[in-house]
Amino acid sequence: MLSAGAAVSRAGAAVSRAGAGVLGARVVVSSARPPEGCAVVRARRATLRVLPLHLLAVLLVAGCGGSPAPSGQPAPTDATPPVAAAPAPAPVVTSVMAGIDLLFLSMMAGHTEQTLQIVRLVRDRLTDSELRTLVAAVEATESDELVTARGWLAQAGRSARADDHAGHGTGPEQLARLRDAPDAEVDTVLIEVFSAHQQAAADLARAHLAAGTDARVLDLARRVEQSRTAQVALMAGRPAAG
Amino acid sequence: MRRRITLPLVATGAMVSTLAVATPAQAHGYVSSPPSRQALCAQNRVPDCGQIRWEPQSVEGPKGLRNCHANISHFAVLNDDNRGWPATSVGTTVTFTWVNTAMHATRDWEYFIGNTRVAVFSGGGRQPGATVSHTVNLSGYSGRQKLLAVWNISDTANAFYSCVDLQIGGGGGNPTPSPSPTTNPPAPSPTPTVAPTTNPPTGGTWAAGRAYAVGDQVTYGGRTYRCRQAHTAIAGWEPPNVPALWSQI
């Protein structure tokens, strides 16, 4: 597995420049980021310079979107009631998210941004209708998760870019593989790339379930762990799976 | 009592998840479980830690150090043994999980108690996954111990450091001391049935493995939902959790 990955990595290096276009937004932010040993605070400052104000405004009001978890602190805009059906008796909820929860949210936000990139590269080119249905549902659900994560980060005064996740997850060469795959191979390449991508999310979520503190974030982590694991299993069962 | 134990150069351990990336990236990582000192700070379980509680992954310094703070002055709290660090009760076999916020080609991971290297795991110069777990045999040790975990990067001069306080022996397995509040939904979900077949009759109970089309209705937790977007149901996508897929009616 490792050696195969390394081979892919070498092969992908040649096309990683071409992949930079896909990551345009990320590149802008990366260039503003201190090169080494960057502190969160500095990264956040850089982000604030880069993000347009209207986007920040969106992030600030997005706090309660899509989250079914009982909230320990009122969201700034509570026009949308939680959609949870009969939530369980509220556990002890820390009112302020701890650094470890915010770090997980930041990592997941970056990971989910990549998910959306992957989905948008392939959604109109897939052959297997089950895969088409899956990626469409993934796009819908993870878009909501991203809004939720960014909203919580904004409430805590952190940005979704507070941590460097440029090197985390699926690299530009993998995105290039998806973009460059002939139509007949898109299904197979998607299963390979996206299974690894979602497995990484499940792994991160599982680690957070053992270390996190905030009930809302733990609930998100539980759903991430379950849904990504199930998606990997679903993809493994498709005809195009290797 | 300290006893020198010898392990194979590359001990057996589980490496979870591999994602290769060609672009050199900033390496960042820390031991999240059992909680390292920086994890305890980031969990607010140990107060007044300063900046480290926002960036437990940033304890980076030159290779070869044997302290908890990588000689970074504003992380010095990590090297202060008198801060009442809670020790995690463990058995003699402990699985350490690193969370890597950025991956970097890895020389190896080393684990020390005192000056003794109790385990090392080769990284083979490859980039690790988002998380990495190693199982370390600490059968030569008992009682409270301060373990130093080190992630040595292969293409820089640096390493990442995490100190983990352990209470070895007496316990079994690898407990996690963190509180685990859960906000599970009512969860009447039956065992997921694989093999999606035909759509359930309107009003059926939501079930993982079923394929749902727009307009299908299900019940879940005593409430009724209408499908907004076609999908195959999976765990984690229970109707109250995914308003993008289901709306309550």
pTM of the model: 0.72
Contacts of B179 in chain A (CB under 8 A): 92, 213
Tell which residue, A36, A26, A173, has the closest CA to residue B127.
A173
pLDDT for B104 equals 84
Which residue on chain A is closest to B208 by alpha carbon? A230
pLDDT at A160: 56
Ordered DSSP codes for chain B? --------SS---PPP------S----EEEEEETTPHHHHHHTTSS---GGGGG-GGG-EEETT--SSSTT-GGGGGGG-TTS-PPPEEE-SEEEEEEEEEE---EEEEEEEETTEEEEEEEEEEE---SEEEEEEE-TT--EEEEEEEEEEESSSSEEEEEEEEEEESS--S----S------------PPP-S--SPPPTTEEP-TT-EE-TT-EEEETTEEEEESS-EE--TT--GGG-TTTEEE-
ipTM: 0.79
Q: pLDDT band for A32, please (50, 70, 90 cuts).
A: very low
Which pLDDT does position A16 carry in this prediction?
34
Mean pLDDT of A215-236: 98
Q: Is the pLDDT of residue A27 over 60?
A: no
- How far is residue A233 from each of residues A136, B5, B36, B119, B195, measured CA to CA in Å? 17, 41, 32, 34, 12
In the structure, what pLDDT confidence band is assigned to residue A242 with cuts at 50, 70 and 90?
A: confident
Model confidence band, residue A96 (pLDDT cutoffs 50, 70, 90): confident
On the question of pLDDT at A8 being above 50, the answer is no
Q: Which of A40, A97, A100 to mutate to test the interface with B (most CBs of B within 10 A)?
A: A100
Taking CB atoms and an 8 Å limit, are B22 and A227 in contact across chains? no
- For residue A161, the chain B residue with the least C-alpha distance is B101
For the stretch A186-214, pLDDT in tens is 999 999 999 999 999 999 999 999 999 99
- Chain B residues close to A70, C-beta within 8 Å: 183
Quick one: pLDDT band at residue A171, thresholds 50, 70, 90? confident
* Mean pLDDT, rounded, for A69-75: 36
Closest chain A C-alpha to B20 CA, distance in angstroms:
5
- Tell me whether residues A207 and B55 touch, CB distance under 8 A: no
What is the radius of gyration, based on Cα positions, of chain A?
Answer: 18
Per-residue pLDDT of chain B (249 residues; tens, 9 = 90+): 444 444 433 333 333 333 333 233 355 999 999 999 999 999 999 999 999 999 999 999 999 999 999 999 999 999 999 999 999 999 999 999 999 987 889 999 999 999 999 999 999 999 999 999 999 999 999 999 999 999 999 999 999 999 999 999 965 444 444 444 444 444 444 444 444 444 445 569 999 999 999 999 999 999 999 999 999 999 999 999 999 999 999
Of residues A203, A90, A137, the one with CA closest to residue B241: A137
Distance from CA of B204 to the nearest CA of A (A): 17
Task: For residue A85, give the nearest of B19, B176, B186 by CB distance.
Answer: B186
Q: What is the pLDDT of residues A114-165, one digit of tens each?
A: 999 999 999 999 999 999 999 999 999 999 999 999 999 999 987 655 444 4
Contact state of B19 with A169 under an 8 Å Cβ cutoff: yes
Q: How far is A26 from chain B (nearest CA, A)?
A: 13
Task: Report d(CA B184, CA A218) in Å as an integer.
Answer: 10
Token code pair at residue B185: 């939904």
Mutate: best of A203, A218, A235, partner B, most B CBs <10 A: A203
pLDDT in tens, B108-153: 999 999 999 999 999 999 999 999 999 999 999 999 999 999 999 9
In a mutational test of the A interface, the residue from B183, B194, B246, B248 whose CB has the highest number of chain A CBs within 10 Å is B183
Q: Give A-chain residues touching B183 at CB under 8 angstroms.
A: 68-70, 87-88, 90-91, 215-216, 218-219
Of A10-19, A43-52, B27-36, B180-189, give the range with the top mean pLDDT: B27-36
Q: Is A98–B43 a contact, with Cβ atoms under 8 angstroms apart?
A: yes
Q: Are B166 and B90 in contact (CB under 8 A)?
A: yes
